[in-house]
Amino acid sequence: MNGVTAVIRAVGVVGCGLMGSGIAEVCARAGLDTLVHEVDRTALETGRRRIRHSLDRGVERGILTSVERDNALDRLTFTTELADFADRDLAIEAVPEIEHLKLEVFAALDQTMGKPEALLASNTSSIPVMKLAAATSRPGRVMGVHFFNPVPVLDLVELVPALVTDDTAWERMHAFVGSTLGRHVIISQDRAGFVVNALLIPYLLSAIRMFESGFASADDIDNGMARGCAHPMGPLALADHIGLDTTLAVAESLYAEFKEPLHAPPPLLCRMVQAGHLGRKTGRGFHTY
């Protein structure tokens, strides 16, 4: 079979949090049969409501018609059983940025997905893709596909081949993300942080250290970059938006790989995560929400 012509029509998304729900939404809006997995019914219903709310907002803002919204909803199905992924052409993992969880998901998907040409992808923002590929019996068909939050709004996707990703799988994934989903693709080597987070996280950590040292207030740091450098938001507000737990996880992954001081998580960031002050998702971070 020519893998490039093996069109991806049936997609599975593992995880329906902020990232997974956004990925599922853009897949459904692109006309794909989209199956979404969560660990239990409560999480599944929360994710379903999140997708519906996002689609409704799209209609309110004139981005979608009500018919387009309803068609997207019709293409979405939900499950708590990974066994239902057996017929998928592609599975995209979007569980929390915790390495052992992702490894478990990839091992389970490898056992579940029945099509020999099926592709496995991770939305990881920092974990080397080769580690995930090695958890499967099909490492040549595993790669990183890193979307950005909010997925329906930000059209960038980082594509990250593992060391052993085969050319046919790569061409299929590139065509899927660029043409089927209509995303803007950039390509990164398989290094912790990839392109965007390798540049972004040291900047965020520097701002956290500045605040931690008492050099400036959170508002002044953020206003300095937003008003002085025309950034859409300041670094501490951005860290809150990303999630301080995710920011910490990416920083730890970068530091583990490169051992550079600029990647070392500041103690304040570690304590805030331990306290459950994770930013917007919990209502409290460097700012309150």
Known catalytic residues are: 125, 146, 158, 197
- Mention every residue, 6+ apart, whose C-beta is less than 8 A from residue 90: 8, 10, 11, 12, 118, 119, 120, 121, 173, 176
Residues in the chain: 289
| Residue with the two structure tokens 């409560």 | 42
Q: What is the DSSP string of the chain?
A: --GGGS---EEEEE--SHHHHHHHHHHHHTT-EEEEE-SSHHHHHHHHHHHHHHHHHHHHTTSS-HHHHHHHHHTEEEES-GGGGGG-SEEEE---S-HHHHHHHHHHHHHH---TT-EEEE--SSS-HHHHHTTSS-GGGEEEEEE-SSTTT--EEEEEE-TT--HHHHHHHHHIIIIIS-PEEEE--S-TTTTHHHHHHHHHHHHHHHHHTTSS-HHHHHHHHHHHS--SS-HHHHHHHH-HHHHHHHHHHHHHHH--GGGSPPHHHHHHHHTT--BTTTTBSSSB-
Tokens of 34: 């989209």
